[in-house]
Amino acid sequence: QDILLHSPSSISLGSVTAGDHVDLISCGAVTGCGTAVHVTATSVTAKGGLVVLNTSVDRLCLCGSTGSIVIKESNGITLGDMFAFGQVQVEATAGDIVLDGAINAGVQACLTAKAGAITDDCDTCVDVFGQSVKLSSRDGVGTLAHPIHVEACGLVLEATGLNKSIYVNDLTGIGVL
């Protein structure tokens, strides 16, 4: 059960539920109304000038083309490729954020796992690009065997849980945290 919604203007969602995939493509913004979950599905692909959604999905691939991407996920989530000229901001309120694609932000990439970890899908490619990158989680960032690979001019890393570790491979060599 898939839902495909393509619009030459903006898309504003109340609540959409699909058994499998939701595809949202707009020449304008893709946004949700209110604070409830806007999209519930196994996976979501969205493209718009600005993408702002509350989700309950397993996997997410987004392109905010000329704008930013702001996602509030009610569970843990696997992130595929994400691109925005502005900011990429993803918050998972319960569970892990697993990076399975490149997160590319023209300005800032901010990933927050409030009740989990931020982990890599075990590849050696760059996971997060941005002028600045902030990775924050309760249960750690990356692992010794699979660090998070970043390219950024500014980097903020945070693990708020007791005795949690941060493993990041800084490919730009900024050396300032």
Taking only the tens place, the pLDDT of each residue in 62-108 is 886 678 999 999 999 999 999 999 999 999 999 999 999 999 999 99
Report pLDDT for 121.
Answer: 86
Percent pLDDT > 70 in the chain is 96
How far CA 86 is from CA of 106, 162, 176, 177, in Å, comes to 5, 33, 23, 22
| pLDDT tops 60 at residue 177 | no
Report pLDDT for 163.
Answer: 80
User: Rounded distance, CA 60 to CA 16, Å?
Assistant: 15
Beta carbons within 8 Å of 6's beta carbon, 6+ residues apart: 23, 25, 26
User: What are the tokens at 68?
Assistant: 């930013």
Residues, the chain, total?
177
User: Rounded distance, CA 105 to CA 93, Å?
Assistant: 21
User: Rounded distance, CA 84 to CA 29, Å?
Assistant: 13
How does pLDDT run across 103-133, given as a tens digit for each residue? Answer: 999 999 999 999 999 999 877 788 999 999 9
Are residues 83 and 64 in contact, defined by beta-carbon separation less than 8 angstroms?
Answer: yes
CB hemisphere CA count around 90 (13 angstroms): 37
How far CA 5 is from CA of 2, 21, 117, in Å, comes to 10, 11, 32
Report pLDDT for 65.
Answer: 66
